[in-house]
Amino acid sequence: MSNKIVIGSRESKLAVLQSQMVQDFIVQNHPDMEVDILTMKTTGDKILDRTLDKIGGKGLFVKELDRALLEGRSQLSVHSLKDMPMEESEELPILAFSKREDVRDVLVFPKGCEELDASKPIGCSSLRRKLQLQEIFPDVKVKSIRGNLQTRLEKLDSGEYSALVLAAAGLKRLGLEKRISRYFDTEEILPAAGQGILAVQGKKGLDYEYLKGYDDPEAHSVALAERAFVRYLNGGCTSPVAAYGQIQEGQLKLCGLYYEEETGHYLKGSKTGAVSEAEALGIALAKELKERCRKEYKVAKQEERKEMGKVWLVGAGPGDAGLFTLKGADVLEKADVVVYDSLVGQGILTRIPPDARLINVGKRAGHHMMPQNMINQVLADEAKKGNRVVRLKGGDPFLFGRGGEELELLTKEGVPYEVVPGVTSPISVPAYNGIPVTHRDFCSSVHIITGHKRQGMEYDIDFKALVHTKGTLVFLMGLTAMEDICKGLMEAGMDPDMPAAVLSKGTTAGQRRVIATISTLKKESDRQKIKTPAIIVVGKVCTLSEDFAWYEKLPLAGWKILVTRPRENISRTAAKLREKGAEVLELPSISISPLEDQSRLQEAFAKLNTYDWLVFTSPAGVEVFWRELGKKKVDIRCLGSVKIAAIGEGTKKKLLERSIYADFVPSVYDGDTLGKELASLLTGKEKILIPRAMLGNKTLVEELEKTGASVEDVPTYETDYQNCPLIDEKKEFEEGSIDMVVFTSASTVKGFVKSTNGLDYSRVRAACIGKQTKAAADAYGMQTYMSEKATIDSLIELVETLKRSEEKWN
């Protein structure tokens, strides 16, 4: 370690003072060291006649200092963190963050003035401040001002401005605290990311032991969160994005401001999380605000529309997601507003698009969340705002679904509509229980009757007429009135030994049936504790159920399995589980988002034929790579003789869709094995490109670099954690409703944990596709099982084996 250190600094008085603060720390802790300050004027200091968004942003304040570091003329640079670009250089990393000074922005009046002169503009240097000042002083003009702090104060005192908005930290460091006329709290004006913190920057490979103890842990954590927030939104001096983090009671609370430049719409919000996950918290808040801003703007624009929207009455079927019609799924996917009820199956609810507005009008026996006349009006009102409105109803919209009443109002008010019929329970539920509702050896008609009656009133049903039809009778919503129904039929002349059935939760994993006679059905139903929703079937066809029952014979029938997946994917895993009879709850725990900035990948495209290996670690990586190739119109022949490695079967198949055959697939489908086994094939002179997730497996790169190979690890997408607001996953596990959860990656485990915070994970039985996925689940104390091979088919076989084992012991 050299005894002489040179600190690079901008030549402004404040910048030099800040560099001296670091200089003092080094000298105090290492008296034997000589520390000098090298000052220079940066490009940002030279161009003062234009705002930063017009000349290139924050990078102009650090370019010359960076060059001095790279050339060895300095060993350190000291910056105000808020002035640094959000993308950190690998060659010139930030080494330490100072303790944070006062983070607030302040108002400074000209000397001798004590109030604001509304006839003159307020001077400020950022769009972030301008945007927030317009809310505080709507009648005062805001004008840009450039230059160092002393230059700005001179312009203020000369009478050019009524006031300046500055950072309290800079004024206090220069001993100018008395100039402050008013402090803005952080709720009035959110500060810039990193405001009040000094960043010490160095060069990769040098020894910085002398800085030990300078880095402030709290400032370091909040800086990571704030910069991750702004970096995700591509914000900085050219975009009015703000972020401010505080550590309170061991948790990090991050506040942020997002501005949508295309629409001019903006909002503020906050999020709290673990200090150890500071960057993830910043990204999560950025995504949340960006999505909320988009939704709110979309709603505002829809309310401005004059054209009429439309209503679709969609039948969701009896519960099994496989019985939802193709047209129903297509209409639901395009919905702006979804008005849904309590009988819609969970598998259908998970298909509602994430940006659709949800209105719950659920009904259960004796309880109506919203009266029918209000539901009718909601449909009409939402369509008049220009929305695509889906009225999602269990079963079929017209079979005791009051769809006709809804259409009456829509017709009256001139609202266009369509009806999408649904698979109805009086046919499908008996079918899933092996009961054909008609059979020429037994009956030639089927009759569907509502079993519901108004409290305190007699049935308005002609039981004699029903008995005389000699057909199959299906009563819906009749569980609580079963005794009256059976009594009415017997009093009308039906044989007390007529076969009858009560079928509960049909087409789902909870499906149960009781076969008896009309004279014994009530007693048997009570004994077996049958619950709603349930239907009653009366007729000789009920005797066929034991011979024709098929659903429970499927290997996974009776099991409800949670499959976590990226929202963008139609899960092959879920489809295979459904084929085996499982009720599958398909919930998006992660979302794959291609990065907006693909400049590094595009640079790689320009030299594709120079790589020896192209390594893909996920199907998503393949998708994004080829999507960007298409966008840039890059001919696939540019790959030339490049060899391709794929981490596993899913990635291999995604490549095959493009007629690309992988040259190498590891024996175990994980990043560690991929790195070790591919490394054994290398000579050490290879050039390797890995386009993959932002937070990829580090061991993969380390193993390849050990050989001497040159590895370009290029992030092309990021993984976000999500949950479905309509499904309480935690409650499902606490009530024992879910038998198994299937994980196909470690990231889906993390997404599941995010959405079930506080769950006792020892309750969770997890089938995992590989050792890394299993290790992620083990870390939370789940009961874990791993498939023999890292393939979907092997994973399904594991689930079947576990179910057979449970049945054997039960």
Q: Which residues make Cβ contacts (< 8 Å) with residue 786, sequence separation at least 6?
A: 767, 768, 769, 770, 771, 773, 774, 798
pLDDT class for 162, splitting at 50, 70, 90? Answer: very high
* Per-residue pLDDT at 299: 63
- Catalytic residue chosen out of the listed positions 120, 130, 363, 789: 363
Fold of 1-101+192-215: D-Maltodextrin-Binding Protein; domain 2 (3.40.190)
Phi-psi region of 153 (alpha: psi -120 to 50; beta: other; left: phi over 0): alpha
The least confident of 56-60, 323-327, 539-543 is 56-60
pLDDT class for 589, splitting at 50, 70, 90? Answer: low
Neighbours of 458 (CB within 10 A): 9
pLDDT class for 590, splitting at 50, 70, 90? Answer: low
Nearest 5 degrees, angle CA 36-CA 42-CA 44? Answer: 145
| Confidence check: pLDDT of 1 > 70 | no
> Which whole number is the average pLDDT over 115-124?
88
Is residue 54 packed enough to be buried (19+ CB in 10 Å), middle (13-18) or exposed (0-12)?
A: exposed
- Which among 557, 577, 582 has a CA at the least distance from the CA of 433? 557
350 vs 428, which has greater pLDDT?
A: 428
User: Tokens representing 468?
Assistant: 């005389």
Fold of 560-592+723-809: Rossmann fold (3.40.50)
* Per-residue pLDDT at 138: 84
pLDDT class for 323, splitting at 50, 70, 90? Answer: very high
Span 105-183 CATH architecture: 3-Layer(aba) Sandwich (3.40)
Share of the chain above pLDDT 70, in %: 91
> Which whole number is the average pLDDT over 269-296?
88
User: Would you say 774 and 784 are in contact if contact means Cβ atoms under 8 Å apart?
Assistant: yes
* Per-residue pLDDT at 491: 94
Greatest mean pLDDT among 172-181, 286-295, 453-462 lies in 172-181
pLDDT class for 363, splitting at 50, 70, 90? Answer: low
Whole-Å CA distances, 123 to 114, 261, 587:
16, 22, 50
Tens of pLDDT along 171-197? 998 899 999 999 999 888 999 899 999
* Per-residue pLDDT at 306: 54
570/619 Cα distance (integer angstroms)? 13
Q: Is 426-548 CATH 3.30.950.10?
A: yes
177/688 Cα distance (integer angstroms)? 55
537/426 Cα distance (integer angstroms)? 8
- Catalytic residue chosen out of the listed positions 102, 341, 396, 720: 341
| Confidence check: pLDDT of 43 > 70 | no
Q: What is the CATH number of domain 596-720?
A: 3.40.50.10090
* Per-residue pLDDT at 300: 63
278/275 Cα distance (integer angstroms)? 5
* Per-residue pLDDT at 151: 87
Q: Which residues make Cβ contacts (< 8 Å) with residue 359, sequence separation at least 6?
A: 337, 338, 339, 340, 378, 382
128 vs 550, which has greater pLDDT?
A: 550
* Per-residue pLDDT at 810: 56
Residue 35 C-alpha from the chain's centroid: 48
β-strand 765-768 against 643-646: which pairing, if any?
unpaired
* Per-residue pLDDT at 609: 86
**Arithmetic mean of pLDDT over the chain:** 86
* Per-residue pLDDT at 55: 33
Q: Which residues make Cβ contacts (< 8 Å) with residue 205, sequence separation at least 6?
A: none
Report which residue type is found at 429. V
**HSE, side-chain direction, 13 A CA sphere, residue 533:** 20
| Confidence check: pLDDT of 261 > 80 | no
* Per-residue pLDDT at 381: 92
Tens of pLDDT along 196-248? 999 999 999 899 999 999 999 999 999 999 999 998 887 544 567 889 999 98
* Strands of 242-248's sheet in order across: 242-248, 251-260, 265-274
CATH of 310-423 among 3.40.1010.10, 3.30.70.260, 3.40.50.1000, 3.10.20.740: 3.40.1010.10
| Confidence check: pLDDT of 313 > 70 | yes
Report which residue type is found at 161. Y
The least confident of 142-151, 316-325, 716-725 is 716-725
- Give catalytic status of residue 363 as yes or no: yes
> Which whole number is the average pLDDT over 715-730?
76
Tens of pLDDT along 744-777? 888 888 888 887 888 899 989 999 988 888 999 9
| Confidence check: pLDDT of 658 > 70 | yes
| Confidence check: pLDDT of 47 > 60 | no
170/180 Cα distance (integer angstroms)? 11
| Confidence check: pLDDT of 367 > 60 | no
* Per-residue pLDDT at 480: 86
pLDDT class for 253, splitting at 50, 70, 90? Answer: very high
DSSP alpha helices (H): ranges in 350-391?
372-384
Residue 561 C-alpha from the chain's centroid: 21
The reply to whether 596-720 shares the fold of 426-548 is: no
- Give catalytic status of residue 341 as yes or no: yes
First to last CA, the chain: 70
| Confidence check: pLDDT of 338 > 60 | yes
